[in-house]
Amino acid sequence: MLVHRAMQASPATFLTAIAPSRADLVGWVACRFPWSWLAALGARASMPFGLGPALYRKAIHGGQAKHARLDAKKIAVLRRGGRLPHASVYPAERRAPRDLLRRRMPLRRKRAELLPPIHNPPRQYKLSEIGQQSAYKANRPGVAARLPAPAVQNSIAVDLALLDHYARLRRARELAVVKTAQPHDAHPRSLLRTVPGIGARLRLVLLDASHDIRRLPRVQAFGSYWRLVTCAQAAAGKRYGTSGTKLGNAYLQGALSEAAGLFVRANPAGQKYRAR
């Protein structure tokens, strides 16, 4: 062990610290949000660089004491023993459009949180159900006026205004993504266009999140990365259940669920796929 200390997170400090061992050095970092500048630095400096998924390193997460210096030492030991999983480093030129695409999920969640406060008050006042169609703007007029209490009407009016606001934000972001995303993978995009329910924005989400399909050589790896399967917990030939529900790409799972719902609505015979 030549260097083991805390240092300022800057390119100049990092390059100065590794200068004596630069010739045969391989860089590794935990897969967390500030790793991108280190990956870009390794690419510019022609230094081999690896990215390790944080959830896969049980030796780090199982420790009682946790801080950056201990984690760095454990990463080095795991790498030396060949026990450090390797993740794909996303290309720098595609990170900005991908991050903009990922903003769709928080906006969708916030919009979904506004629907229950609109549907619940009629049940409290024993009125007829509004139905799920209030998610569409054309079915919202008169929703607040059905309730007798003015305070409840004002509360629902606020939720309806927020629904319209989030809808405008989401449409603006999606339009910006379609306009600013650089064209790539023309052939896969044309194949995805033939699937009912997958539009221009979902195609970009699926392609940008999955990135290079060659890094998933087996169908099992592909299904695990998309969160379509769970890991088995077994010992001594006996299976005790499943685990690993947080492994894989959450944005791919959300895009796949959205595409499946749109496919069911767009295809008259889609109910059999929902059953499967």
pLDDT in tens, 129-173: 665 566 677 777 777 777 888 888 888 888 888 888 888 888 887
**d(C-alpha 261, C-alpha 276), whole Å:** 13
pTM: 0.65
Q: Between 56 and 165, whose confidence is greater? A: 165
Using CA atoms, how far residue 166 sits from 2, 121, 158, in Å, is 52, 22, 12
Tell me, yes or no, whether 170 lies in a domain. yes
- Same domain flag for 135 and 71: no
Tell me, yes or no, whether 6 lies in a domain. no
Give the residue from 182, 210, 240 where a domain finishes.
182
- Same domain flag for 85 and 51: yes
Helix pair angle (186-193, 200-210), 10° resolution: 130
Tell me, yes or no, whether 164 lies in a domain. yes
Tell me, yes or no, whether 33 lies in a domain. yes
Tell me, yes or no, whether 80 lies in a domain. yes
| Count of domains observed in the chain | 3
- Same domain flag for 271 and 218: yes
pLDDT in the model for residue 235 = 83
Tell me, yes or no, whether 205 lies in a domain. yes
Averaged pLDDT of the chain: 76
For residue 232, give its domain range: 200-275
- Same domain flag for 112 and 165: yes
- Percent of the chain at pLDDT above 90? 0
Tell me, yes or no, whether 188 lies in a domain. no
